[in-house]
């Protein structure tokens, strides 16, 4: 059994430390011996009681209250919302790491997976369409370049014909010369148009390439969303992260769990109940007498009259509010630290003389893990408070 100690008020744990001291059997023995030496001639030796100075141990007892708990305790929750459809573990069930202990209704998440699969297929089709468009635009660019290469030849031929007709203007009719000039002008215009068509085809090819890149990005996004949907679907199957024993089950079949800001706790699993620890709060005035390795004894309410032993395995620093205080639960389920004045303790119950009002709810278990302002979940009544 290991005992952990911190620096706050409280106790079920009793810790003992040995220190050497001088024990004197009779009060003021040294004075008695001195008196016997002074007045020995006037009284009989039987008129005085003498004692022997001896060396012994004095027990210093430090008392504190605490909780007995497993060394390793894991709260198993759900990362997705849903309705509990199956439970594979119950109270005191021994489970193994990776064992399926609960399932949530997966119909909605399965539909989301199928929807993302369809979106991925649509994105992949868009990629194929963009690639086809690129091939078409590439063919248009090649055709435009071919026209651009042919247009200068036709333009030059038409220009040469105009020149020859003008040299032979005495034998060539003026109407033919004008027709040749018109043909040359048209050939020049076609040459300029071919150059413009090449530019337009190249621009269309660039747009098709951009659409292909966009379609590929859509595929990557659809794939990521599909992977996320599959992960969320896998979270409907809840497995144990450790070997251990179920000490708490907080859900039943048919119950809805809502995973919003905080994952709801479905099970609490203790790793090894044969190795327990006592987490106790030590008063600031006594913590200086506690150190790792010393022996300790403690009692528990479940076994009255029996005393168990262990050793201090760790002393933790827990700087906090001075004095004795309790955590009071507010209406919004947050806790506030309130100083109290303690009275007498009897049979595990302590009278609080000042600091609390009737019907107020306080945390009686797990308070060492709380800080002011933390939220707690109340199960049943105030005696079943869970931080």
pLDDT digit string (tens) for 363-382?
Answer: 877 776 677 778 887 765 54
**Token pair belonging to 308:** 């168990």
For 168-244, where are the alpha helices, taking DSSP H only? 174-234
Tokens of 139: 């063919």
- What residue spans define the domains of the chain? 1-71+275-318, 108-223, 325-386
Tokens of 311: 């050793």
Q: Output the pLDDT for position 39.
A: 44
> Tokens representing 203?
């621009």
Looking at residue 55, its pLDDT comes to 87
315 beta partners = 5
Asked whether 387 and 67 are in contact (CB, 8 A), the reply is: no
> Which residues partner with 334 through β-bridges?
375
| 260 or 44, higher pLDDT | 260
E strands within 211-329?
237-239, 244-249, 256-257, 265-270, 276-281, 295-298, 308-315, 325-329
How many Cα atoms occupy the beta-carbon half-sphere of 343 within 13 Å? 9
Phi, psi of 252 (to 5 degrees): -130, 165
Q: Tokens 């408070």 appear where?
A: 385
The chain-wide mean pLDDT, for the chain, equals 78
Q: How far apart are CA 26 and CA 125, in angstroms?
A: 103
- Residue 247 phi/psi, 5-degree rounding, is -105, -10
* Higher per-residue confidence, 12 vs 145: 145
Among the ranges 82-86, 170-174, 298-302, which has the highest mean pLDDT value?
82-86
* Burial of residue 326, with CB atoms counted within 10 A of its CB: 0-12 exposed, 13-18 middle, 19 or more buried: buried
DSSP notation for 326-363: EEEE-TTSBEEEEE-EEEEEETTEEEEEES--TT--B-
Question: Could you tell me how many residues make up the chain?
Answer: 387
Q: Are 257 and 82 in contact (CB under 8 A)?
A: yes
Beta bridge partners of residue 378, listed in sequence order: 385
Q: How confident is the model at residue 85 (pLDDT cuts 50, 70, 90)?
A: very high
Residue 137 pLDDT > 50: yes
- Most confidently modeled range among 45-49, 50-54, 88-92: 88-92
**Tokens 């040359």, residue located:** 184
Helix (H, G, I), strand (E, B) or coil at 126: helix
161-208, pLDDT tens digit by residue? Answer: 656 656 666 555 666 656 666 776 676 677 677 777 778 888 888 898
Task: Find the mean pLDDT for residues 236-245.
Answer: 95
Provide the 8-state DSSP code for 304. Answer: T
């Amino acid at each position: 059994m290991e005992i952990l100690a911190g620096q706050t008020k409280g106790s079920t744990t009793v810790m003992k430390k040995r220190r050497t001291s001088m024990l004197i059997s009779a009060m003021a023995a040294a004075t008695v011996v001195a008196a016997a030496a002074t007045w020995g001639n006037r009284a009989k030796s039987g008129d005085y009681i003498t004692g022997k100075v001896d060396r012994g141990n004095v027990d210093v007892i430090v008392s504190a209250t605490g909780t007995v708990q497993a060394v390793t305790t894991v709260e198993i929750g759900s990362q997705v919302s849903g309705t509990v459809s199956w439970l594979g573990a119950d109270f005191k069930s021994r489970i193994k790491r990776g064992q399926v202990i609960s399932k949530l209704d997966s119909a909605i998440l399965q539909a989301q997976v199928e929807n993302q699969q369809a979106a991925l297929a649509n994105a992949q089709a868009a990629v194929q369409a963009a690639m086809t468009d690129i091939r078409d635009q590439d063919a248009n660019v090649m055709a435009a370049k071919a026209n651009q290469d042919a247009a200068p030849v036709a333009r030059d031929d038409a220009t040469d014909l105009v020149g020859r007709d003008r040299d032979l203007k005495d034998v060539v009719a003026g109407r033919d010369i004008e027709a040749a000039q018109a043909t040359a002008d048209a050939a020049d215009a076609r040459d300029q148009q071919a150059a413009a068509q090449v530019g337009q085809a190249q621009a269309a090819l660039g747009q098709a390439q951009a659409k292909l890149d966009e379609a590929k990005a859509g595929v990557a996004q659809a794939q990521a969303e599909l992977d996320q949907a599959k992960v969320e679907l896998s979270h409907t199957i809840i497995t144990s992260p450790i070997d251990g024993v179920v000490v708490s089950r907080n859900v039943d079949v048919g119950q809805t769990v809502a995973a919003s800001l905080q994952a709801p706790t479905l099970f609490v699993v203790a790793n090894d109940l044969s190795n327990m620890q006592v987490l106790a709060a030590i008063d600031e005035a006594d913590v200086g007498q506690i150190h790792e390795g010393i022996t300790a004894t403690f009692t528990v309410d479940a076994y009255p009259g029996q005393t168990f032993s262990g050793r201090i395995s760790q002393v933790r620093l827990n700087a906090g509010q001075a004095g004795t205080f309790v955590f009071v639960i507010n209406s919004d389920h947050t806790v506030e630290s309130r100083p109290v004045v303690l009275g007498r303790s009897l049979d595990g119950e302590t009278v609080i003389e000042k600091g609390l009002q009737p019907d107020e709810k306080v945390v009686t278990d797990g308070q060492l893990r709380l800080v002011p302002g933390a939220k707690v979940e109340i199960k049943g009544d105030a005696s079943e408070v869970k931080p």
